[in-house]
Amino acid sequence: MRILLDTQILLMWIEGGTALNARSKAVLEDPRNVILVSSISAAEVAIKRAIGKLNAPTIDAELIGEEGFVELPFTTAHAARLLTLPLHHRDPFDRMLVAQAQVEDVVFLSVDARVDRYEYRRLPTA
């Protein structure tokens, strides 16, 4: 399964994964899954660090590789999806991540209930 991580999930994982629920941890630890980290998450962390809203490590290609994850660049196809994405909330980072999940047809792993109003693939229930 291909899974795109929400920035918050990524940061919880990097911090040791103790804040993640058992199901999320199992999915992230399963070697059969391809875990994607968006360039949008790297930008979100960099911006929030720069303005003092977040204390987190830099998300770069080295860190992504060390975790065994795969970088997913934000493309013009992803940007185009934003035109038709409902405005359920105004967080631009979340909207871009949802757009990527939709265009790439991957599971989006998030703990943010606000993004649940969007249509995207979720983890199977069984």
Comparing 1-5, 79-83, 108-112, which segment has the lowest mean pLDDT? 108-112
Model pLDDT for residues 5-63, shown as the tens digit of each residue: 999 999 999 999 889 989 999 999 999 999 999 999 999 999 999 999 999 999 999 99
The pTM score is: 0.92
- Domain ranges, ordered by start, for the chain: 2-117
What are residue 91's phi and psi, to 5 degrees? Answer: -70, 110
> Is residue 45 within 8 Å of residue 59, measured between CB atoms?
yes
What percent of the chain has pLDDT above 90?
77
Label residue 94 by pLDDT band (50, 70, 90): very high
- Total Cβ atoms within 10 A of residue 31: 6
88 confidence band (pLDDT: 50, 70, 90): confident
For the 2-117 domain, the top CATH level (class) is alpha beta
Would you tell me how many other CB atoms lie within 10 Å of the CB of residue 9?
25
Task: For residues 107 and 5, give the distance between their C-alpha atoms in angstroms, rounded to a whole number.
Answer: 9
Cβ-Cβ contacts under 8 Å for 108 (sequence gap 6 or more): 3, 4, 6, 97, 98, 101, 115, 120, 121, 122
Please list the residues that pair with 5 across neighbouring strands. Answer: 109
DSSP letter at 114 equals G
Question: Which tokens hold the place of 9?
Answer: 């999930």
pLDDT of 125 above 80? no
Report pLDDT for 126.
Answer: 40
What is the mean pLDDT of the segment spanning 95-103? Answer: 97
